[in-house]
Amino acid sequence: MGMGLVQVAVTLAIIMLLVKPVGTYLVAVFDYGSGRTKLDRWFGWAEKPLYRLAGIKEEENMGWKGYLKAMLLTNFIMLVIMYAILRLQKYLPLNPDGIGNMPPAQAFNTAVSFMTNTNWQSYSGENALSYFSQMAAITFPMFTSAATGFAVAIAFIRGISGKSDALGNFYVDLVRAVTRVFLPLSFAAALFLVFQGVPQTIYGAITATTLEGGRQTITRGLVASLESIKHLGTNGGGWFGTNAAHPFENPTPLTNLVHIVSMMLLPTALVYAFGLMIRNKRQGWAVFGAMSFIFVAMLALVMASEYRGVPALDAAGIHGNMEGKEVRFGIAESSLFTAVTTAATTGSVNNMHESLTPLGGLVPLAEMMLNNVFGGKGVGLLNGLLYAILAVFICGLLVGRTPEFLGKKIEGKEIKLASIALLVHPFIILAPTALALLTPQAVASISNAGMHGLSEVLYAFTSGAANNGSAFGGLNANTDFYNVGIGLVMLVGRYVSIIAMLGIAGSLAVKKTVPQGMGTLRTDTGLFTGILIMIIIVIGALTFLPALALGPIAEHLAMP
């Protein structure tokens, strides 16, 4: 346990050291500025032809409605292309293992899953996708869905810190996120992964004669190029069914480190970038502090719980919970991965979450329910700011001050939009879970009986709503009910909050900035960080405690 704590501390220190430089770089990436910047010179040669061929007017600055329209249209077109590729993969090139077409409900689920940055998988890649599908219907949206989330978050910040309803140009933000952030980082990370043992080949599976004379079909593919963007873009969908627990996706503790740092790199830096863009670094750190506090508390819970293991087995001399974990990672690196992947809404796993101890399994569930502990590309920051706006409003009501955030008055319209975004999340988790438990066909998919079975279903819809993608893998989710149900939940979970937040940005953008006075509640102080944590916990607990009490908490109390 001692060495485990040291590893975790060193990993978190590496992440902290990268926050400032990467955050500063992000601000430069999305700075339209006047004249050519250094970055324009470095990346312009690749970007200019894209703008020209696509007919994008770089200088066009969009209002929130225009920005939203361009985003939705582009996402919809990509979704249709992905669906078509999955349905037709048998007839498309690069299919060395002879995989058939994907059925309609599953193809719908998969296309939605990857376009919404969820990466929920009701299939196993090694037997359901051709290499071409893995490239053009999986790796491709891993870039664009992450870039979409990024673009929206940047546009939101421009809105609340700006003076007019000009949120930027969606296409330019989309392209820049790809060319200046994701492509170069993914390429470099992929090569390191191959160096450590991740395959990267266009050749199909190879049949080996094992040391005992048996046969083993070794599936492989263009794995490394998918893995790197999977984590940098907080996507999470694996090439193989068992994701980053598979030795071909995550062969060594060092690849595990790269995966973890990649996941946290951009979501944490974005919070810092937010502080820079609104010219109030303290504000960035205030939000960062609240997110970090919840993250560390969650991490401590899952780690302690996994080291403790099952008491009845511990008494018999079997220490710690190694079910569903890999020896090279052990309990510390597995627990850290679990806390990170659900904080950053990645959803990849390096251990089987279904086999976590009850309280260990509560951690990923709770992080996805809160959905704002750093969070995936952009959207996590949006959710964090949503709670910040709410905190300002509630405090304003309590002490009779005018609610203001960043010098803008928070009024009825903003609170209505924020409430919609906030209430949709529990609704699309709890209502479908209840529906599933009333539907015999859906109940038949549950693999573990009793309280753990409830957690399986609850986890599935929470994962979809939070656009996370991790799973309690025992649930057979490849049925029409879950493919369509979770597909719809993912769509609502992604786009409703984005639409509401862009609406808030558009509304705040045109408001006059009011000077700070005696009546202003400062939002960049330690006090506000504390209030924010309280608000997040109170709202989260009020909403989800009953469901958690019936699932993991009851299971913990009944553990032998």
User: What residues numbered 314-333 form the site for another protein, per CB under 8 A?
Assistant: 316-330, 333
**Token duo for residue 528:** 């506000």
Q: Is-contact 359 552, C-beta < 8 A?
A: yes
d(CA 370, CA 366): 6
Q: Is-contact 460 482, C-beta < 8 A?
A: yes
Stretch that binds another protein, among 209-217, 407-415, 497-505, 526-534 (CB under 8 A): 209-217
- Least Cα distance to 471 among 227, 120, 236, 118 occurs for 120
Nearest distance from residue 348's CB to another protein, in Å? 12
Count of residues near another protein by CB under 8 A: 120
> Which one of residues 354, 367, 404, 524 is an interface residue with another protein (CB under 8 A)?
354
- Residues 6+ positions from 197 with CB-CB distance below 8 Å: 247, 248, 251, 252, 255
> Which one of residues 35, 214, 400, 515 is an interface residue with another protein (CB under 8 A)?
214
DSSP state of 95: -
d(CA 362, CA 376): 20
Nearest distance from residue 212's CB to another protein, in Å? 6
Please list every residue from 112 through 141 that binds another protein, using CB under 8 A.
124, 126-127, 135-137, 139-140
Q: If binding is defined by CB under 8 A, does position 7 make contact with another protein?
A: yes
> Which one of residues 309, 364, 407, 432 is an interface residue with another protein (CB under 8 A)?
309
Quick one: how far is CA 480 from the chain centroid? 25
Nearest distance from residue 84's CB to another protein, in Å? 11
Q: If binding is defined by CB under 8 A, does position 312 make contact with another protein?
A: yes
d(CA 20, CA 23): 5
Nearest distance from residue 246's CB to another protein, in Å? 4
Element containing residue 405 per DSSP (H, E): strand 404-405
Please list every residue from 445 through 474 that binds another protein, using CB under 8 A.
447-448, 450, 452, 472-474
- Please name the amino acid found at residue 419: S
Q: Is-contact 528 87, C-beta < 8 A?
A: no
Choice between 5 and 538, CB closer to another protein: 5
> Which one of residues 13, 16, 17, 202 is an interface residue with another protein (CB under 8 A)?
202
Q: If binding is defined by CB under 8 A, does position 301 make contact with another protein?
A: no
Choice between 96 and 197, CB closer to another protein: 197
DSSP state of 549: I
- Least Cα distance to 357 among 304, 432, 402 occurs for 304
Show the site string, 71-90: x = touches another protein by CB under 8 A, - = not. --xx--xx--x---------
- Residues 6+ positions from 152 with CB-CB distance below 8 Å: 71, 378, 379, 382, 498, 501, 502
> Which one of residues 119, 186, 523, 543 is an interface residue with another protein (CB under 8 A)?
186
Q: If binding is defined by CB under 8 A, does position 178 make contact with another protein?
A: yes
Show the site string, 246-275: x = touches another protein by CB under 8 A, - = not. xxx--xxxx-xx------------------
Q: If binding is defined by CB under 8 A, does position 409 make contact with another protein?
A: no
DSSP state of 403: P
Strand partners, 404: 409
Choice between 226 and 406, CB closer to another protein: 226
**Token duo for residue 191:** 């090569």
Choice between 25 and 140, CB closer to another protein: 140
Choice between 537 and 550, CB closer to another protein: 550
> Which one of residues 63, 96, 241, 289 is an interface residue with another protein (CB under 8 A)?
241
CA atoms within 13 A on the CB side of 220: 19
Choice between 86 and 277, CB closer to another protein: 86
**Token duo for residue 166:** 């000009």
Q: If binding is defined by CB under 8 A, does position 191 make contact with another protein?
A: yes
Strand partners, 168: 62
Q: If binding is defined by CB under 8 A, does position 34 make contact with another protein?
A: no
Q: If binding is defined by CB under 8 A, does position 155 make contact with another protein?
A: no
Please list every residue from 355 through 394 that binds another protein, using CB under 8 A.
355-358
